[in-house]
Amino acid sequence: MSAVNSEKIPNNVDLSSNKKLQRALEEWQPNYLDWWMEVGPEGFQQDEIYLRTAVSVDTDGWAKFGHVKMPDYRWGIFLTPVQKERTIHFGDQIGGKIWDEVPGELRKELRRLIVTQADTEPASVEQQRLLGKTCPSLYDLRNLFQVNVEEGRHLWAMVYLLMQYFGKDGREEAQDLLIRRSGHQDSPRILEAFNKPIDDWLAFFCFTTFTDRDGKYQLGALAESAFDPLARSTRFMLTEEAHHMFVGETGVARVIERTAELMKTAPEGDVTKVGGIPLELVQRYVNEWLAASLDLFGGEDSSNSATYFAAGLKGRWDEANDSKWPDHKALDGSYTLEVPKDGGLTDHHIPLRRAMNLVLRDCYVDDCKKVIERWNKVLERAGLAERMTLPSERFNRHQGVYAGLPFAPDGTLLSREAWDAKRDTFLPSAKDYAYVKSLMVPVVEPGKFAGWIAPPKKGINNLPGDFVYVKFHGAQ
Ligand SMILES: [Fe+2]
Ligand SMILES: [Fe+2]
């Protein structure tokens, strides 16, 4: 199926033959643009950015690259093609027909799932809005804006579902998605990690490594859904998400690479004397963003997750893979979780369906471990003995059974006093933030990079190192 790109809203959902939906979306479009101009990237709106735009869902040609001004970006609605033989493949209704419409009895649950996912998309754009002003290079500036416009497109993808399948309620939700604001006191975004400030590029790279990766797992679980339009929307979103995680992971890797290089020549190995970011400081950022991202998976023992699984709304990661998940009903068995009790930890058994948040989180953590291994390869190649680590799932949690307890990054339970005394070795301190901030000076000369980060191995779309990813027109 190819897309119709001559339309106001590029899409492969045959928008032109659905006048009511088309009108609703065209009414929403100017509000979306107002939102973008108000709380999207500050500045740069008149500049031409080398961006890829989704133009179809064909595996070998969905992306078109070219210089565009961000407000002219063509945010479209794309679903992966209908699979003829798809049936429900997990939960109570295995083998049943997938749904093209929302079943009345699941309306509330589906709306909640979609709105929660949708809310994260504009939130991250708001969180990242000032970063352009301190970009370490044109390459990085372009990557930031690529992530931003695609999060905008993800919002479109979810708003399409709300408007098409949830009538007036859906239209109201679509409006509210443009009204809530990341970090706003009275009208914040729904999930906590999406209200945290992202004030520097190290935070941005950690966010795109760990928080966008939560997005990957949430979208993956929804891509298994029996509600077919949701499954097909989220499956296409995953193709874009891969680039966001690439930006994050390679961003941190490039910081580590540069630091490793500087450690060899800096006086007493202290990279802060030569404008580098110490590995311990990078580790503290990792600790912070991993913990905040783990919180996004919700309660370990969750009746909602059981309901979603039973009904076929939300599966496990790669649910269709029979060798990974031989039992798609998950009615038997339990998940054993160590929970805090009387100053120690004790085993708690959670019926499997109620533990689906945890099962998804475990897949996420395995993935994060591999990221850490790849970062450690950078240190290994540099001949250094230092290593990055993934903090324990118990560390610095604000949700779930470990919330508020003084666990160290290695997972041991400390006294409150001991934790407080070590706090600044676990998490970024005010001094850390101030130091990182002092390094954030913009570098916009083609092919040049800030001193705290190594250049990438190769350019976007294999372009040369000095490619002009951003053509400036407006005043910066
Ligand atoms: Fe997204
Ligand atoms: Fe993303």
What is the arithmetic mean of pLDDT over 194-218?
98
Centre of ligand 2 from the C-alpha of residue 210, in Å: 10
Q: What is the pTM of this model?
A: 0.97
Residues 6+ apart with CB under 8 A from 20: none
Per the CB < 8 A criterion, the answer to whether 262 and 254 are in contact is no
Strands (E), 352-406: none
What values do phi and psi take at 49, rounded to 5?
A: -110, 135
What values do phi and psi take at 413, rounded to 5?
A: -85, 125
Distance (Å, rounded) from C-alpha 412 to C-alpha 408?
A: 5
In tens, the pLDDT along 20-68 reads 999 999 999 999 999 999 999 999 999 999 999 988 888 777 889 999 9
Centre of ligand 2 from the C-alpha of residue 372, in Å: 19
Per the CB < 8 A criterion, the answer to whether 249 and 138 are in contact is no
Centre of ligand 2 from the C-alpha of residue 240, in Å: 7
In tens, the pLDDT along 125-139 reads 999 999 999 999 999
Centre of ligand 2 from the C-alpha of residue 52, in Å: 15
Centre of ligand 1 from the C-alpha of residue 200, in Å: 20
Per the CB < 8 A criterion, the answer to whether 269 and 263 are in contact is yes
Q: What is the DSSP letter of 396?
A: T
pLDDT of residue 475: 57
Strands (E), 261-385: 334-341, 344-351
Distance (Å, rounded) from C-alpha 185 to C-alpha 199?
A: 18
**Mean confidence (pLDDT) of the chain:** 95
Centre of ligand 1 from the C-alpha of residue 160, in Å: 15
Per the CB < 8 A criterion, the answer to whether 110 and 235 are in contact is no
Q: Smallest Cα–Cα separation from 474: which of 69, 1, 26?
A: 69
Q: Strand, helix or coil at 246?
A: helix
Residues 6+ apart with CB under 8 A from 264: none
The letter for the amino acid at 270 is D
% of the chain with per-residue pLDDT over 90: 93
- For residue 1, pLDDT beyond 70: no
pLDDT of residue 383: 97
Which ligand approaches the C-alpha of residue 147 most closely?
A: 2
Which ligand approaches the C-alpha of residue 122 most closely?
A: 1
pLDDT of residue 6: 55
